[in-house]
Structure 1
Amino acid sequence: MASHTLSKLSPSTAPFSPSTGARLPRRPMLVSSLRLPNAWLGARDFSLRSMGLASRLPRPRPIIATVAFSLPTAKPERVSSGENVPRWSRKAIKSFAMGELEARKLKYPTTGTEALLMGLLIEGTSAAAKFLQANGITLFKVREESIKLNPKGDMYFFSPEHPPLTEDCQRVLDWAVDQKLKSADGGEITTSHLLLGIWSEVESPGHKILAALGFDDGKAKELKSQISEPEYDD
């Protein structure tokens, strides 16, 4: 805290010169620090730096989700061959990033189909998220089922910034690209492709969670009929 100068002094408190008897000018008093009264301990300096605690305070470790412009593929030859691969929608990319972040929160070493499913619901505004919510499938229910299948990791374990994809989760991404290429209708790969991709992986945790919460082939067919509709940012 900046020093404060006490410049106003009472004349009666100024000292006298022993030789002339005249009053001498009083030097200003400098207050170098703020000391607050304490009823139990007297005057105490409440500066964290003065108590040596500033460097001991715990610093929370931030969790950051990095959003890329595309999603991982197990078929890099597509890019090298110059094939016109359709783009992912912004909501699909955001859902994927939210799935990675959820995997890290749950202390999972990898990003699986269950994390991708939670990412869709965390994003919350896409066609796939709204379809799930309309059918009673919520983030709370999916997270609860996910922990039953795959309990939380050790509290002292820190997941990498980008937990590697499980094999079934990677197949979901490539399935979505393949289906979009087969349709030849232009446009982007949407969250509906991701959701149907999760459903196509029958042995994956994401499919098992969807089935446990009432999702079936009939609902998948209904979603597929709406898959050509573009996703616009709200």
Structure 2
Amino acid sequence: RWSARAIKAFSMAELEARKMKYATTGTESLLMGILTEGTSKASLYLRANGVTLFKVRSEAVNVLGKADMYFFSPEHPPLTEPAQKALDWAVDEHQKLGANGEISTTLLLLGIWEQKNSAGQKILAALGFDDKKAQEI
């Protein structure tokens, strides 16, 4: 079960993908969703370490390029493979930890970090996030 904050972050990720005119919801959009949600431990930690929504959007354009067409779909932008793997990683890690309760945005953030060479992981690395910070959170 996902926490209310994680569900909101996921919904905001889809919105961010649309704002950026991307046809899919990738790890970069999940990262933007965490920051847009704004109240979770993961969001507060990122902002305290200088990772802002503005910087992530800017870095997303550097990594993925600017969408060269206007994309609009009445449906949800589908997840990219790395984004799906990030979600799956969060679920698996929650089960491995035997944690009670809900899957948090922190596990979602760490799931993004675990997807090496994904857009979200590259953006985090470019903005100073590293394995040490992943352990701190």
TM range (shorter): over 0.9
Instruction: Tell whether the 8 Å contact from 1:108 to 1:159 is kept in structure 2 after alignment.
Output: no
Inter-partner Cα distance in structure 1 for 2:74 and 2:59:
23
Report if aligned partners of 1:120, 1:129 keep a CA contact under 8 Å in 2.
Answer: yes
The answer to whether structure 1 residue 177 and structure 2 residue 91 are counterparts is yes
Q: Sequence identity, in percent?
A: 66
More helix by share: 2
Q: Describe the superposition over 1:64-93 as per-residue Cα deviations: whole angstroms up to 9, x where unpaired.
A: xxxxxxxxxxxxxxxxxxxxxxx1000000
Pick closer, same or farther for the CA change 1:208–1:187 going to 2, 3 Å.
same
Deviations 1:162-200 (A, max 9, x none): 000000000000100000001112111000000000000
Q: Do the aligned residues in 2 keep the contact of 1:128 with 1:191 (CA within 8 Å)?
A: yes
Q: How does 1:67-146 map to 2 (within 5 A)?
A: 87-146=1-60
1:147 equivalent among 50, 55, 61: 61
Instruction: Determine which structure has the larger strand proportion and give its number.
Output: 1
Q: What RMSD, in angstroms, separates the aligned Cα atoms of the two structures?
A: 1.1
Note the residue ranges of structure 2 that are not aligned, 5 or more in a row.
none
TM-score scaled by structure 1?
0.57
Q: List alignment gaps of at least 5 residues for structure 1.
A: 1-86, 224-234
Q: 2:81 matched to which residue of 1? A: 167
Higher relative CO (Cα under 8 Å, sequence separation at least 6) belongs to 2
Give the partner amino acid of 1:144.
Answer: S
* Consecutive aligned runs of 4 or more in structure 1 exceeding 4 Å deviation: none
Partners of 1:109 and 1:160 in 2: how far apart?
12
**Aligned partners of 1:120, 1:188: CA distance in 2, in Å?**
16
Distance 1:104 1:215 in 2: 25
Separation in 1 of the partners of 2:73 and 2:16? 10
Contact 2:18 2:71 survives alignment (8 Å):
no
**Which residue pairs with 1:15 in the alignment?**
none
Question: Is the partner of 1:203 in helix, strand or coil?
Answer: coil
Hey, what's the Cα distance between the residues in 1 that align with 2:3 and 2:104?
5
